[in-house]
Amino acid sequence: MKKLLNLILLFSLSFWAMGQQFSSPNGELQLNFELKEGVPYYSLSYKNQPVILPSKLGLELKGKPDFTSGFESHEVTYADFDETWEPVWSEEKSIRNHYKEMTVTLQQGDDFENRTLVVRFRLFDDGLGFRYEFPSQPNLAHFIISDEKTQFAMAGDHTAFWIPGDYDTQEYDYVESKLSEIRPLMTQAITANVSQTSFSPTGVQTSLMMKTNEGLYINLHEADLIDYATMHLNLDDEKMIFESWLTPNANGDKVYLQSPSVSPWRTIIVSDDARDILVSRITYNLNEPNKIEDTSWIKPMKYVGVWWEMITGKSTWSYTDEFPAVKLGETDYSKAKPNGKHGATTANVKKHIDFAAEHGFDGVLVEGWNIGWEDWFGNAKDYVFDFVTPYPDFDLEGVRDYAKAKGVEMIMHHETSSSVRNYERQLDKAYQFMKDNGYNAVKSGYVGTILPFGDNHYSQWQVNHYQYAVEKAAEYQIMVNAHEAVRPTGIGRTYPNLIANESARGTEYQAFGGSKPNHVTVLPFTRQIGGPMDYTPGIFEMDISKLNPDNNSWVNSTIANQLALYVTMYSPLQMAADLPENYERFMDAFQFIKDVALDWDKSVYLEAEPGYYLTIARKEKGTGNWFLGNVNGNEGRTAEIKFDFLEEGKSYIATIYSDTKDAHFRNNPQSYEIRKVTVTKKSKLSQYSAPGGGFAISIMEAEKADLKGLKKS
């Protein structure tokens, strides 16, 4: 009977070739699917405005007929879904996953080997996710995707916040421009020899944030990137159509699959209010539920580290300037001449452990503790690091016992130098070594060209490597913070031991020439759509030459802006990145970093405009305390804040850390003021932020707060 019904449905659809429409739960988003002359198209509208004009779907296969045309019929089924789930860590206690689903089963005819392709669409109130599914079938067992041809046709020449398409790095400043300006700007950058390697003069990375002339905010990204190549976008700037551009493997092929299998979800988040882009949890909702049964060992962490001193060039990762590490394990480092600048010495690490213990930090990261840093980069060394052998001036056991006695966790560092073979060969040994020495978290890194040569950071095989490292870490109950790995796509829902990634331009660039002052107003709309970022904020000394006279870089930010980042750059892993001696100079401001929470019951997005400003308030998990952060772009601005998110009938003590009137990211970054006032649900605040500045507020329940310095509000 069911078969018969399906048959009738199928015949009627192919005969009239009419489109299928369905709406989001609240009816504001509408999706239309249509098969025109054998080619599948979709389009999307929001409150009757076009978001995606009719756009083609499909994939090209190597050595086989394509999945782009020749579809003779299609069958459609619908479903509803509504659940609420509790994340292990997040911006809120629970997340609602509410969507309507339309599944289209497309059938090719004789000329195309009678194959079947499924496209599954999920419409949420805040956007669309869709993916390709390749059911098991006689004429499609193993296959190679030579290109994915998913289109995203824009309805105008939108403003975009973009970074160049690149197979190996995301560490760019964002450019704000019209879509039509991408080509000239990118061409200029290439001519000016700016480090960028786009595969096309109109190729950009996701997550891509756009704003239309009509005030719609549109975000394009992907979710659940597993066993597939990373998607970039290539713009046809005459027609304003983006097309998916997958990162190739070493041989130029894009994806190797075996049916049954699926592609990642392609996501389109849309709203007429920029704040909704930050509220959206589409990316997490389109990932599989948590696969780790016992999550008691996954804990948010605030940490300091032996790190900024190397990034600024004040000290070195390596112990010696000689090159003794000809072959790992066969070099006697005790015979090497120390360079006198090694950061990870026992004494320096103990100093950091003391500082962490004194100020209530959970952990200390140490980089440059293991042998191999003399020639770690740019030499294509296969056996580059061994992850278990400390330099002679780092007493691993002594440090381990010292940290334990002080109640501080050590965070391991695994720089792989992108010798991925080397890392995988040693992963079990490296993780076991961590557990044997009490390390429960690792910061990994993938600097440099991938080995074996020819492969790219974001190819299918590398995506599989990062995933393997995270899943293997889960077996050892280890939390992972991967730098230079592929940008996240919500996998932290499924594997919450992936507590952060860098995978974008982090604070380190403030010591490599500086980032744009408004960079941090863009990141939450782009990189952070996929998950938390280990941005490593908390820099108080902006003049890097004070740390290293040979480094003239400048941190384009104010101290108040640095404080706000602990709220605006969501992450369950937060570093206080500056040197302890720089915090000692500004202990009153440092108090905010000590107080600020890492895990949240609730987040309220008060103001948002990508590239310009962002104000977020968050309620600490399990307490009545709130923390509020505002980051500001290139121009000074006054925020108007209502405290109506606070609990009725309660009184709170707000400590406001703000820029002074004459503060400025370039000329006067350390000029801040701190005031304490009483606030209630009825309170309002007009608060100025300097160019590249911001403000941070801790809002503590009055009965528990420190009332010293309290002024009448």
Helices (H) and strands (E) in the chain, counts: 13, 37
In whole angstroms, how close is the CB of 519 to ligand NOJ at the nearest point? Answer: 15
- Binding mask 432-461 vs ligand NOJ (x if CB under 6 A, - otherwise)? -------------x-x--------------
Q: Pick the catalytic residue: 508, 635, 647, 648? A: 508
Nearest residue to ligand NOJ on Cβ basis = 415
**CA 125, 278, 505, 375 torsion-angle sign:** negative
Among 224, 243, 409, 508, binds ligand NOJ (CB under 6 A): 508
305 binds ligand NOJ (CB under 6 A): no
Residue 672 touches which of Ca ion, ligand NOJ, none (Cβ within 5-8 Å per kind): none
Identify which of residues 67 and 373 has a Cβ nearer to ligand NOJ in the complex: 373
Q: Counting contacts by CB under 6 A, is residue 415 touching ligand NOJ?
A: yes
Q: Rank residues 362 and 415 by Cβ distance to Ca ion and give the closer one.
A: 415
What's the rounded Cα separation, in Å, for the pair 620 and 211?
A: 32
Nearer to Ca ion, 154 or 365 (CB): 365
- Say which residue the tokens 């790095």 belong to: 169
Q: Among residues 126, 237, 243, 367, which is the contact residue for ligand NOJ, using CB under 6 A?
A: 367
* Among the residue ranges 194-202, 249-257, 420-428, 502-510, the one whose residues contact ligand NOJ (CB under 6 A): 502-510
DSSP E strands in 149-227: the ranges are 151-153, 159-162, 175-178, 203-204, 208-211, 217-223
Does the annotation mark 508 as catalytic? yes
- Supply 255's token pair: 């994806």
Instruction: Kindly state whether residue 352 participates in binding ligand NOJ, applying the rule CB under 6 A.
Output: no
Residue 367 binding target from ligand NOJ, Ca ion, none, CB below 5 to 8 Å by type: ligand NOJ
Asked if 465 contacts 472 with a C-beta cutoff of 8 angstroms, the reply is no
166 binds, among Ca ion, ligand NOJ, none (CB under 5 to 8 A by kind): none
d(CA 581, CA 454): 44
Per CB under 6 A, which of residues 472..491 are in contact with ligand NOJ? 483
Rounded to whole angstroms, the maximal C-alpha distance in the chain is 83
Does 532 interact with ligand NOJ (rule: CB under 6 A)? Answer: no
Calpha distance 482→292 (Å, rounded)? 19
Comparison of 483 and 516: residue with beta carbon closer to Ca ion: 483
Q: Determine contact, residues 127/637, Cβ cutoff 8 Å.
A: no
Binding mask 462-491 for Ca ion (x = CB under 5 A): ---------------------x--------
Q: Nearer Cβ to Ca ion, position 74 or 505?
A: 505
Phi/psi of residue 509, nearest 5 degrees: -70, -20
Q: Which residue has the tokens 């130098």?
A: 417
Backbone torsions φ then ψ of 397, nearest 5 degrees: -70, -45
Q: Is 293 left (phi over 0), alpha (psi -120 to 50) or beta?
A: alpha
CB-wise, 269 or 511, nearer to Ca ion? 511
Q: CA-CA distance, 73 to 60, in Å (whole number)?
A: 19
- Are the C-beta atoms of 305 and 411 separated by less than 8 Å? yes
Tell me how far apart the alpha carbons of residues 705 and 393 are, in angstroms, rounded to a whole number.
44
448, interface contact from Ca ion, ligand NOJ, none, CB < 5-8 Å by kind: none
- Output the six-digit token pair for 278: 């930050």
Active-site positions? 508
Judged by the rule CB under 5 A, the positions of this chain that interact with Ca ion are 483, 502
Q: Which residues bind ligand NOJ (CB under 6 A)?
A: 307, 311, 367, 415, 445, 447, 483, 502, 506, 508
